[in-house]
Amino acid sequence: MSQAPTLQSFIAGQWIGSEAAQGLTSALNGEVVYHTHAEQIDFEESLAFARRQGNQSLMAMDFQSRASCLRNLGKYLLEHKESLYEISHHSGATRADSWIDIEGGAGTLFAYASMGRRELPSGNVLHEGDAMQLGPKGKFYGSHILVPRNGVAVHINAFNFPIWGMLEKFAPNFLAGMPCIVKPGSATSYVTEAAVRLMQNSGLLPEGSLQLVIGRTGDLLDRLNGQDVVTFTGSASTAAKLRVTPNLINNSVPFNGEADSLNCAILAPDVTPDDAEFDLFVKEVAREMTVKAGQKCTAIRRTLVPENRVDAVAEKLSARLAKTTVGDPSVEGVRMGALASHTQQADVRDTVEQLLQTSERICGGNADFAPTGAGTENGAFFEPTLLLSRDPDAEGGAHDIEAFGPVSTVMGYRDVDHAVALAARGKGSLVSSLITNDPEVAGKVVPALAAWHGRVHILNEESSKESTGHGSPLPMLKHGGPGRAGGGEELGGIRAVKHYLQRTAVQGSPTMLTAVTREYVRGGAVNETEVHPFRRYFDDLKPGDSLLTHRRTVTEADIVNFGCLSGDHFYMHFDEIAAKDSQFGKRIAHGYFVLSAAAGLFVYPGEGPVLANYGLDTLRFVNPVGIGDTIRARLTCKRMIDQGKVSEKGEAQGVVAWDVEVTNQNDELVASYDILTLVLKRPQD
Ligand code: NAP
């Protein structure tokens, strides 16, 4: 019996598993380095714990505090990253590959932390406004709210990114306020286990918010209900099987799928071998083939080039691939590591054989291929392999078969329409790259590609220095693709958080909607007090606190003075004749004067808790203000966000958005906007 340790699942707050089951081998030398555990997991208990304890501890927090927690978790993981790099070594990953997994994973936590702080409210109700007036008298409104689903998110992940793959799903579901159960791909589950141990040891994880399954999911999917969510990343065939689990269908459990995808890169016809873009193209394809030994869901599997560039691309690309040293990443100079396991190695070998039925080999497959490093002859290495399909329109081949390794197939196209048609033959992909220096080509090709791709990356010399590359999903942009790519959307800013929230339409009076959304809805009851709202600390304010100002009659002198002060002498304000011919039929005041005059009406001039006005949203000049019109403003506390911010001077503060309505003597709205302020919290002694 091997001495290799047994991994443990983290279920219902306990680490369980001591009896060895499946041996997990090092990709570098084939030795068993860990075992999965043999003990059966009680999924009834696991789900009950998540629903009870996980839900309770997450609901004791809110969107803002969970965002802060994500940031702290990210920091903790970075502080302890070296232990993760060390363990990742067995997976055959180079330091650069593991950087994507480890630091990319922590980066995703940071990204969701800052998106959450910026875009989500305090509390656990997200108002998807604006509220719509439904009744003629303004007493019946409708709007949407999103609240955390009352269930558990089950994440089933592929083996290729054991940490990032977990964290890119955990970040949005945690921010939303749902507990999760993570099941990593077994082959590299030792890396995920190490990351979960770190997260647990950090003391930052609310109890029950994250459970880990090593090994199989047993009857877990059969026990889910309509409040739960399943996300899956892996092969299209497993996705197809799991998404039709009868219990998931019967209970309408959302299933977000990310499956294998036959991504492509297109070299546009405008690029010649002498252009910088030609080299960029070759570099990008080679990089996508070799990073993570090509085990990336976004890797370029199909290399589409104009027919007259096939030879030039094949030559340059194979020369570049030949220079890639493959072997044990701890050996100096090694650029590409191993596939994650021998099973993967056998799988890639098989799929290359299938691809060779419709293509020829340009490079790779050498009988004398020998990876660098001691013991690597038993490792799961695979030589970078470039294929050429002379009949790109043929059925099957690279449009249908995924070799999940360092393999790509070059295909020639006749014109851009043909290129777009070939790209679509992947039946839906996560990403495609278009390498062009011609904006007209980009303008024509990208919208056509978009129908079949989750992301389109346009590369030329101008963007190349800053480009994050073809293969890198970014937290703020959509990651997911149509059709074969699974039809899901794992990332994409706050939209990914919404997969774990229930959207509900709410109808009622503006006062009721204000109470539910915690966001003042116009027409709702306001609270006017003796104390000016700008003199109230953050803690003393609430949505609906309001001030109706005194009035001011706009004079010609106002317009002239404002014109001179600002330098804005637009005819509508100064040319009597032209203004008469305009749609307003008279000279009108500058909109920005109305804005400034309104500030003059509602601002409290003395020192107070309002620290800064840092912006203005949703500004509309609704009706003109002419000479002789009399305006006034209503300022109402609309939305309050407590991000836990403290100034450099140590003063705690919160964000307050104020609704401003400027009206004229006929009570008609002339200007409408939100102003954004920072407001001090009541000092604590
Ligand atoms: P896989 O064999 O489909 O496995 C994916 C996950 O599903 C693993 O955790 C696996 O567990 C689990 N699984 C398999 N059968 C299951 C079942 N009956 N019930 C519950 N769970 C089950 O894929 P893989 O070999 O891990 O990953 C490689 C594939 O994933 C490639 O095709 C790649 O293109 C794709 N991929 C796609 C994306 C994307 O974002 N679109 C990202 C990465 C990878 P075990 O490991 O224990 O079998």
Pair of tokens at residue 292: 């993570």
Point out the residues of the chain with pLDDT beneath 50.
1
Closest residue by CA, ligand 1 atom 42: 297
Helices 189-201 and 63-79 cross at an angle (nearest 10°) of 110
Average pLDDT value for the chain: 95
SS3 of 573-638: HHCHHHHHHCCCCCCECCHHHHHHHHHHHHCCCCCCCEEEEEEEEEEEECCCCECCCEEEEEEEEE
Rounded Cα distance, 128 and 305, in Å: 45
Pocket-testing residue among 233, 300, 341, ligand 1, by greatest number of atoms within 8 A of Cβ: 233
Q: Which amino acid is at 482?
A: P
pLDDT of res. 87 = 94
Residues with Cβ within 8 Å of 612's Cβ and at least 6 positions away in sequence, in order, are 677, 678
Residue 258 among the catalytic residues:
yes
Distance from the alpha carbon of residue 369 to the mean position of ligand 1, in angstroms: 29
pLDDT of res. 30 = 86
Options 69, 180, 297, 637, the catalytic residue:
297
- Residue 487 is classified by DSSP as B
Judging by DSSP bridges, how do beta strands 545-548 and 527-528 pair with one another?
parallel
Distance from the alpha carbon of residue 177 to the mean position of ligand 1, in angstroms: 26
Pocket-testing residue among 36, 159, 164, ligand 1, by greatest number of atoms within 8 A of Cβ: 159
Angle at 302 between CA 301 and CA 306, to 5 degrees: 155
Q: Provide the β-strand partners of residue 620.
A: 672
pLDDT of res. 647 = 84
Rounded Cα distance, 546 and 526, in Å: 6
Distance from the alpha carbon of residue 513 to the mean position of ligand 1, in angstroms: 44
Q: Which residues line ligand 1 (CB under 6 A)?
A: 156-160, 183, 185-186, 217, 233-235, 238, 242, 258-261, 297, 402, 404, 430, 485-486
DSSP string, 626-680: BTT-EEEEEEEEEEEEEEEEE-TTS-EEEEEEEEEEEE-TTS-EEEEEEEEEEEE
Rounded Cα distance, 522 and 130, in Å: 10
In the chain the domains, ranked by start, together with CATH numbers, are: 9-123+150-259 (3.40.605.10), 263-475 (3.40.309.10), 509-680 (3.10.129.10)
Is it true that the peptide bond before 539 is cis, omega within 30 degrees of 0?
Answer: no
Rounded Cα distance, 278 and 309, in Å: 10
Q: What are phi and psi of 117, to 5 degrees?
A: -65, -35
pTM: predicted TM-score of the whole model, two decimal places: 0.91
Options 258, 288, 402, 519, the catalytic residue:
258
- Residue-wise pLDDT tens digits, 600-627: 999 999 999 999 999 999 999 999 999 9
Rounded Cα distance, 159 and 295, in Å: 9
pLDDT of res. 1 = 45
Residue 489 among the catalytic residues:
no
pLDDT of res. 640 = 95
Distance from the alpha carbon of residue 235 to the mean position of ligand 1, in angstroms: 5
